[in-house]
Structure 1
Amino acid sequence: MAGISCSSNAAASPLSRRQALGALGVGAAGLALGSASARAEGAAGAAEPPSTVTTPPRSFATDAPPNVYFWDPDVIAADPAFNGLAQPNAPVQRLWTGALWAEGPAWSAVGRYLVWSDIPKNRQMRWLEDDGHVSEFRAPSNNSNGNSFDYQGRQLSCEHLTRRVVRYELDGAVTILADRFEGKRLNSPNDVVAHPDGSYWFTDPPYGGQLYEGAVDAAGGPTNPDGLINNRLGQPPEIGEARRELPTACYRIDPNGDVARVVTEEEAPDPNGICFSPDFKTLYVVSTGKGPGDAGPGGKGEVYAFDVDPDNTLSNRRLFTDCMVDGVKCGPDGVRADVNGNIWCSSNAGRAVGYSGVTCWSPEGKLLGRIRIPEICGNICFGGPKRNRLFMAASQSIYAVYLATQGAGPA
C-alpha cells in the first residue's frame, strides 16, 4: 500500500460546513476512483453518489463478514510515512448508526467510553468500550456540538442553543465557563480543548444559528432579519431574545474565569475545529465556511497554524493546509494531533465520494494519507485504552479504526 493515493483532476470550489460540492460522480475500482470523464458526466447529471466507496462493495457494520486483508482498502497512503501510522491488519468499522448529525466525539479515559453529540436530536450519546453498548447519555443537551475532556477528567461541552461552554463537574454539577465576551452573547461555541495550565480554548462560529442545530436569532437579528421565523417554538422561554452580537472568533478561558479573544474573524473566519500540537507550542484552527448571519466572505475550508507564545498569546499566523487533495476540496471540520505532531482532520468532500472521511498531514503540512468512509465526517478524536483508536463522527454514524500511533491526550 506504500505510496498509493487516489487520483483525480476534478477541481472543487470551497465548501462550507453545511454545503456539499456539486455532484462529481465516481467509479471506485480497487484503491482508485473513476476517470475524470466519468466524474464530469456525474456532475452534469447531478447523479446520486453510490452507497459505498470500495470495490467490491463492503459492509462497515460490526457484524459484517470478513472483508479486509493487508491493507484495508479505505486506508490510503499518500506518502510512505503513513504506513508507520496506519495499522495494516485493522479494519475500518462502523460502530453505530442512528444520528441525524453526529459531532463532537470525545474519549473518557477513566470511564472507557466515547461520548458524542447528535445535534439536531438535542442529545449526547455514549458508546461503552467493554461491550459496545450505545445509549442516550444526556438529553436535552442544549444542542451541544463539540465535546472534550480536561486533565482532571471533566467533560467540556459547547452548546449551540444556549451559546455557551460548560463543564460537567465530577460531583455532577454543571459550571458555565463562558457565555459572553465583553458583555455580548457568544454565537454558538463549536469546539473546545484543554491546556495543561488549566485554560480552555474554544471556537465560536455561527453554525448553531439555524433551526436544525439550535435556534435562529430573535426577530431582526442577522439570522432572522425579517422576523419570519418564530424562534420561540419548541424552545425554553429564555432563548427567545438571543441574537447574534459578535463576529466569529476563537477564545481562551483562563483558570480565573477571564475570557480573552485570541483569534479574530480576520485571522480565521468561521473557526471550527481546534487543537494543540503535542508540545502546546502550536495552535491549529480550522476555518470552515460561511455560516448563518455572516456578513463577510466566510472561511474557505482551510487550516491555520499559530505559534503559542509563553504568555498564551498567539503569533506567526500561517496557512497550514488548504485541504485540497487530488483537486478535491476535503473540507475540514474537526481536528486532532497525534503524539508525533501529525494533524488529523475530518473531511467533508460533499458528493466527491471517496474523499470524505479523514486526512492526515505532517507537522509541515504535507498530506500523508487518508481514511475514507461512506459518509461525510464531521469530527474525530483518539481514544481506546491505549489511545490508538481513531473515532470518526460521520453524519449519521460512528466509525473507528485502530492505528499504529497514539493521539495527543487527553481528548
Structure 2
Amino acid sequence: MLRAVAGLGAVAGLGAVAGLGAVAGLGAVAGLGAVALGAGPAFAQAPAPVAPPSTITTPPRDFSPGGAPTTYFTDPDILSVDPVFDGYAQPNSAIQRLWTGALWAEGPAWNAQGRYLVWSDIPNNRQLRWLEDDGHVSVMRQPSNNSNGNSFDFQGRQLSCEHLMRRVVRYELDGSVTVLAAAFDGKRLNSPNDVVAHPDGSYWFTDPPYGGQLYEGAPDAPGGPSNANRRLNPKLGQPAGIGEWRRELPTNCYRIDPSGRIDLVVTESQVPDPNGLCFSPDFKKLYVASTGKGPGDQGPGGKGDIHVFDVGADNKLSNGKQFTDCMVDRVKCGPDGLRCDVDGNLWASSNAGRSVGYSGVTVWNPEGKLIGRIRLPEICGNVCFGGPKRNRLFMAASQSIYAVYVNTQGAGPG
C-alpha cells in the first residue's frame, strides 16, 4: 500500500486514485476529482462520485502509548493541502492521544497561569483537567450542569456554557460563580454552546438547541419543541426545578456587555443553529459555525458551514457571508469548535460522520481557502491552542483528547 508520494505533498481536489487506496498526504488534483488510472475516456466525462478512504492511515494507526511509531519527521495524518501549510506543520511532532474515557468530549480551554487544559464531558456531567507538568487527568467539576463550551477571559477567569441550566457562567478567582446570561428579552435561553471574550470586557456566545435532549442536558417540558409528543420526562435523574423549561427563542448569537446588558448580534436567519465562534486576531472579524439540525428544530436547521462578519467599533456586525461550505473532496466536514492562530488562519474541528479520514481538523486561510488538514480516528468536536508557548493544538474528539505541536501560536486567551 502506498503511503505518500514524495515531493507532491497534498494537491487539492482528488478524492481517491483507483489502484492506490488511501494515499496519505495526497489531497487531490485540482479539477479532476476521482481519476481511474489507465482509463483515458474518464477524463472526457464527469467523474462519478467516489467514497472517501475507509481508513485514516494504512494500516490503521495505533494511538495508544504502546503503539508503533508512525512519525518519521512528518506525521502522516497532518496533510498540507496548500504548500503554505508546510510552514505551520511542526516537523518531528506527532499527534498524541493524551487521554481517553469520555462519552462526548467538548469545550477544551487552556489556562495559561495554571498550565492546564480543561474540557467538558457533557453526558457524564463533568469537567476534567489535564496538567501540563505530568499529564495527570482528574475530575475538576462534577456536576458541571452538562457544560459544553469553555474558555478563559483576559483576567484568567473560566467561562462555561451550561446545557442543563441553559445559561452562561463565570468562575471567579475567589471560587464563586457568576451567572452572566440565562435569558434574553424575558425568555429562557436554549442551551448556550460556545463563548469567547473580547478585550472590551464583553463576552459573545452562541445559543443553539443541542442541550434540549436526554444525552446532553434535559429535554423541554412536555409540549416543548424537543418534547412535542410529551412522552419524555425531563425531571428524571435531575435536581428539583429542572425539566420545567421549554425552548422559547430562535437559535441566535448574543453579546454580553460589561454592564450586563445582553444584545442580539447574529440571528437565526443569518446563521441557523450557531455553534463554535471565535474572533480574528485583531478582533475585526467574527467567525460562527452553523452545525447540524438540533432537537426541536422546525426548519432545516444548521447548514454545516462557517460564516464570517465584520465587527465594527460600535460592536455592530456587518457584511455577513459564508466563509466556507466545509466541503473537502466532496465530503462534508461539518464544523463545530473554531480557533484562530496569530496569522488569522481558522482552525475548525471536523465532523465527517462515517467518512473516516475526514474527521479531525480543517485549516483555512483568512480568504477561506483550505490549506491543511489533521486526520483523527474520532469525530472532533472542538479545538484550542495551549501549552506554555501556546503552540500546541488540543483537540477534543468524541471519547478522547489529542494534541500536536504546530509552528504557530493561537490568538487570544484560551
Q: Which residue identity lines up with residue 300 of structure 2 in the other structure?
A: P
Tell me, in whole angstroms, the C-alpha distance in 2 between the residues paired with 1:5 and 1:168: 46
User: 1:389 and 2:392 equivalent?
Assistant: yes
1:184 matched to which residue of 2? Answer: 187
**Structure having greater relative contact order (Cα 8 Å, sep ≥ 6):** 1
Is structure 2 residue 293 aligned with structure 1 residue 299? Answer: no
1:10-409 alignment runs, 5 A limit: 27-32=21-26, 53-409=56-412
Q: Residue 126 of structure 1 contacts residue 137 of structure 1 at CA under 8 Å; is this kept in 2?
A: yes
CA deviations over 1:33-81 (Å, ceiling 9, x no partner) = 89789x97979xxxxx96x511233222244343211210000000011
Once the two structures are superposed, what CA deviation does each residue of 1:275-304 show, in whole Å capped at 9, x if it has no partner? 000000000000111111111111110100
Q: State the partner residue of 2:45.
A: none
Change (3 A) 1:79 1:32: closer
User: Which SS does the other structure have where 1:289 is aligned?
Assistant: coil
**How many residues were matched structurally?**
389
Q: Give 5+ residue unaligned stretches, structure 2.
A: 1-6, 29-33, 37-47
Using the alignment, how far apart are the partners of 2:292 and 2:23 within structure 1?
32
- Paired residues of 2:24 and 2:77 also in contact (CA < 8 A): no
Contact 2:359 2:378 in 1 (8 A): yes
TM-score normalized with structure 2 length: 0.90
CA contact (8 A) 2:353 2:359 kept: yes
Partner Cα distance (1:310, 1:199) in 2: 13
> 1 CA distance for matches of 2:302 and 2:246?
21
Once the two structures are superposed, residues 103-133 of structure 1 have per-residue CA deviations (whole angstroms, 9 ceiling, x without a partner) of: 0000000000000000000000100000000
For normalisation by structure 1, the TM-score amounts to 0.91
Q: Is the 8 A contact 1:382 1:407 kept in 2?
A: yes
Instruction: Give the drift of 1:3.
Output: 3.9
Q: Structure 1: 5+ residue runs without aligned partners?
A: 11-25, 44-48
Note closer, same or farther for the CA distance 1:2–1:62 as it changes in structure 2 (3 Å cut).
farther
Residues 2 and 83, structure 1, Cα contact 8 Å, conserved in 2: no
Deviation at 1:318, TM superposition (A): 0.9
Maintained 8 Å contact 1:5/1:76: no
SS across alignment from 1:291: coil
Task: Report the aligned-residue RMSD.
Answer: 2.0
Return the alpha-carbon distance in structure 2 between the equivalents of residues 395 and 335 of structure 1: 16
Q: 1:343 to 1:114 in 2, by over 3 A?
A: same
Which is greater in Rg?
A: 2
Gap change, CA 1:242 and 1:91, over 3 Å in 2: same
Task: Give the secondary structure class of the aligned counterpart of 1:285.
Answer: strand
Task: For residue 213 of structure 1, report the CA deviation from its aligned partner.
Answer: 0.3
**Whole-angstrom distance in 2 between the partners of 1:2 and 1:184:** 55
**What is the alpha-carbon distance in structure 2 between the residues aligned to residue 68 and residue 408 of structure 1?**
27
Q: Partners of 1:207 and 1:346 in 2: how far apart?
A: 17
Call closer, same or farther: CA 1:158–1:319 in 2, change over 3 Å: same
Match of 1:23 in 2: none
What is the distance in 2 between the residues matched to 1:249 and 1:232? 26
